[in-house]
Amino acid sequence: MIKLQQVNKWFKSGEDRLHVLNDINLQIDAGDYLSIMGPSGSGKSTLLNMLGLLDVFDSGEYWLNDVATHQLSEEQRADVRGQQIGFIFQNFQLINRLTAAENVALPLMLANMDKAERQHTVSGVLSQVGLADRMHHLPGQLSGGQLQRVAIARAIVQQPALILADEPTGNLDQHAGHDIITLLESLNQQGQTIVMVTHDQDMGARAKRHIRMVDGVLSEE
C-alpha cells in the first residue's frame, strides 16, 4: 500500500543543513498499525507530514497505492490527500463555532455530497465513535476525549485508505487516552491502516509494528 524508498529530507538551519529524514525505507501494508516513537526532534512529525503529503522531500520515492506521489503536482497531491488520507492531531483542530456533526460533515460538503446522504453518513460515523448523543453539541461543550472522537469521526468519514495520528492522546488524561487508543484499535480490527506518532510507551506498545526514529534514521523493533 505504501512504499518509501531511500527518502531524504534536509532542513536549513542557519548555515547548516539538518538531515531530518536519512535514507528512509519503509513498507506499510493495508491493515497495518504502526507506532512511531523516538526522541524529540528526531524527525517523527516530518515523516508523518510527508506520509500525509503535507510536506515534500528532497530525494527518494513515495508510492501510495501504486501512485508515484513524488511525481505529482501540488494540486494532485492535495486531491490524493483529500481522498485517501485522514488526519488526527494532538489538539483536535475542530472548528469551535460548528457542532460535532457539522465538523464531521465538512469534508463531505467539500466533496459535494448531497445533504440527505451527508446527514446519514455523519450520524453513522458519530455513532461508530460512541457520540450519537453528542451530535449537536459545540466543541466547547465536550470533554477532551469526546473532542478527539469527533476528530476521529471527521478523519474516517470518507473512509480513507490511511489514517495518520500525531500524538492523538497527547492532550488527554490517561483514561481518555486509553479510550482513544481502544477506538483506534477497533478501527484497525475493521481493516483501517493507521500510523501513529506517540511519546507514550504504553500507547505505542499497543500498535502491531513499532518504528523508532533517532536523528532522522528509522529502525523497526
Ligand X SMILES: Nc1ncnc2c1ncn2[C@@H]1O[C@H](COP(=O)(O)OP(=O)(O)OP(=O)(O)O)[C@@H](O)[C@H]1O
Which residues contact ligand X (rule: CB under 6 A)? 11, 13, 18, 20, 38, 40-46
Residue closer to ligand X (CB basis): 209 or 212 = 212
d(CA 182, CA 42): 27
Least distance to ligand X from the beta carbon of 38, Å?
6
CA distance 36 to 24: 13
Compute the least distance from the CB of residue 215 to ligand X, in Å: 9
Q: Which is nearer to ligand X, 20 or 152 (CB)?
A: 20
* C-beta closer to ligand X: residue 36 or 153: 36
Shortest Cβ 21–ligand X spacing (Å): 8
Report the C-alpha gap between 166 and 35 in whole angstroms.
10
Phi, psi (deg, nearest 5) at residue 180: -65, -40
Return d(Cα 27, Cα 209) in angstroms, integer: 11
Min CB(199)–ligand X separation in Å: 6
With respect to ligand X, which residue has the nearer C-beta, 25 or 182?
25
Q: One-letter amino acid identity for 132? A: A
Report d(CA 110, CA 95) in Å as an integer: 15
In angstroms, what CA-CA distances link 105 with 71, 152, 163, 204? Answer: 31, 12, 18, 30
Q: Choose between 63 and 89: whose C-beta lies nearer to ligand X.
A: 89
CB of 36 to ligand X, least distance (A): 8
**What does DSSP assign to residue 161?**
S
Residue located via cell numbers 483529500: 82
